Amino acid sequence: MTTYLFPPPPVAAVPVRGHAGLFPVNRLFFVGRNYHAHAVEMGKPVDKSVERPFYFTKAAQTLARSGATTPYPSETANYHFEMELVLAIGKPGFRVKAEDAHEIIYGYAAGLDMTRRDLQLVARDKGRPWDTGKDIEEGSVCSEIVPMESVVVDHGAIALEVNGATKQSSDVNKLIWNIREIIADLSTYYHLQPGDLIYTGTPEGVGAVLPGDRITGRVEGVAEVALQVGPAE
């Protein structure tokens, strides 16, 4: 029997609609710049004819449940929300063809890719890794996962409010790389596994929150997500 010097960290997991059992989370992948209007607002337009998608990752330990109150994080003065459709992988897949991509889909969730924008932009412009800008403790917010096996979500309103005021409003049909294309491309780099979550990118309208703010968001036909921003640490 394996023994450990101290208790290993708990398995990161997310509730599943209609199931008592939790979805155990393996890895968190994030697609960068996947809506044209957001790419433009970041000053980095995308030309799909000559570019492939790019990705960053966060540790599964950065997950926070929808409805949580999380501290305003350290070392930032520009803490941003990014509303995203989250894809939950249910079967292994490597070099998955786009036309077969539906076969490994377990379901979807609504998520927030919380970002230290000030640190991310410095890192981006200096050619440094994004980790401290993106891999934020409790900065990967995820709703319950909605089982939608083999369903390819290709449209649906995606929106976010801060304290009830609309900040982001778009449609999943505006994804530059759609669900099938994301699975096909990401699975050329990684052996996708059950428990992997893929945050598919944010539409335009990203912005800052402050301690005390309440974020609410949704993806039509999928789920809602909420986050209360607590005091600064």
* Residues in contact with Mn ion by the rule CB under 5 A: 82, 113, 202
In whole angstroms, the minimum distance from the beta carbon of 8 to Mn ion comes to: 29
In whole angstroms, the minimum distance from the beta carbon of 82 to Mn ion comes to: 4
Nearer to Mn ion, 100 or 131 (CB): 131
What amino acid is encoded at 76 in this protein?
T
In whole angstroms, the minimum distance from the beta carbon of 54 to Mn ion comes to: 11
Nearer to Mn ion, 12 or 114 (CB): 114
Residue showing the smallest CB distance to Mn ion in the complex: 113
Nearer to Mn ion, 103 or 161 (CB): 161
**Residue 30, phi then psi, degrees to nearest 5:** -130, 130
**Alpha-carbon distance values, 88 to 2, 66, 173, 198 (Å):** 30, 16, 18, 7
In whole angstroms, the minimum distance from the beta carbon of 218 to Mn ion comes to: 16
Nearer to Mn ion, 2 or 140 (CB): 140
Segments of 32-171 assigned E as strands: 55-58, 63-65, 69-72, 79-81, 83-89, 105-113, 115-116, 140-142, 146-147, 157-162, 165-171
